[in-house]
Structures are given as structure tokens and as C-alpha cells.
Amino acid sequence: MMTRRQFTVCLATATGLMATLARLSASLAGVGDGFRFTFDGFDGKPLPLSRFRGRAILVVNTASRCGYTGQYAGLEKLWQEFGPRGLTVVGVPSNDFGSQEPLEGEAIKNFCSLNFGVTFPLADRTPVIGEEAHPFYKWARETAGSRAIPKWNFHKILLAPDGTVAAAFPSPVTPDAAALHEAIAAALPRS
């Protein structure tokens, strides 16, 4: 038989545990839902990631005047190779690093398609770091930590088909890198 004091201690412990679980549940709400974000498309129309729900998505912050700009061709190759198997590449041009993305809107699409044959979806110029960062990038930072924070142009965040961050790769990891290919292959939807 429990004493009144033991009962009070047990009840307080249970109440504390329930409060902790409620806080944890609230903090995890939406953790795996990278599909809930929408970018502004280069054409002025919304570019909702929910459009790609159930697919792996490689979100890459890009720039047209960067030493890594040539990666656009490799990203298009990834899109062509893995797209039919369930990968979507989304380019997110950003002017956050060295003001290397002076273009906006249709000029971005024209530059990418004329110079690199890009056909994958492109957002309009978007902040990816700091207080002005797009909510997707804030969410990625909160859920995946520092690995998801772009340090320069052509940083890559890979979402799994369930909307969680599967991997992140810094700018020097090129689209033809074995590690990136392995991560994409592992993240592709299973049929």
C-alpha cells in the first residue's frame, strides 16, 4: 500500500513526464514535413514542395556568377538520370553569398536554360541564411542542425520521400560525387 507522500511523488513524476512528452511532441510536429513549404517560382507563381510529395527532393541554393555555377549542368544530369526514379531537383537562386546572383525572375530561367540546359524547377531569388532566410531553410537548420546551413552557393539538402532531411552536402560536393549519388539512391521512393 502506498503512503500519501509516495502517491504525491508518483503523481508529480507522472505529471512531469506527461508534460515533457507533450513538449517533445509539440517540438517534433512537422519535423518530417519538408513538403509544407512553398517557394516563389521564377515565373512569379508559387512553387510548392507539396507538388513533389512522395519523391526525394534535392534542394540546391544556386547563383549565376559563382565559381560553382557550372554545377547547374551536373544538377540537370541528376534530374535526367534520377527523375524517372523519383528525384526532383529544385534550384533556389540566392544572392546571399558574395552578391553572386544578380538575376531575378525570368532572367534566372533564361540564364539556366540557355547556358546549362536546365529543365528542373527553379525558384525566384530567395534568401537562404540569417533572419531573412526562407522558412524552408530555417526549418532545415532546426531539424537537421548545422549540416543543413548553406555556407556558400550550391549547398545541397536532400529530402526523403517522407519529407525528412535525409542528407546535406556542402558546395564543393559536385553533382557527380559518389556520396551524393549514394544518398540519392538510398532516398528514392520504394515501389
Q: Are residues 122 and 147 in the same domain?
A: yes
Q: Specify the pairing of strand 38-40 against strand 46-48.
A: antiparallel
pTM above 0.85, yes or no: no
**Dihedral sign, CA of 110, 116, 122, 124?**
negative
Q: What percent of the chain lies above the pLDDT cut of 90?
A: 82
Whether 132 and 74 share a structural domain: yes
* Claim to verify: residue 109 and residue 152 sit in the same structural domain: yes
CA-based nearest residue to 34, from 176, 141, 124: 141
Same domain, 153 and 94: yes
Q: Are residues 98 and 135 in the same domain?
A: yes
Query: Among the options 60, 63, 66, 75, which is catalytic?
Result: 66
* Mean confidence (pLDDT) of the chain: 88
Active site residue 66: yes
Identify whether residues 19 and 82 lie together within a single domain. no
Question: Per the structure, how many domains does the chain have?
Answer: 2
pLDDT in tens, 30-72: 457 999 999 999 999 999 999 999 999 999 999 999 999 999 9
Residue 21 belongs to what domain range? 1-29
Q: Is 24 found in the same domain as 39?
A: no
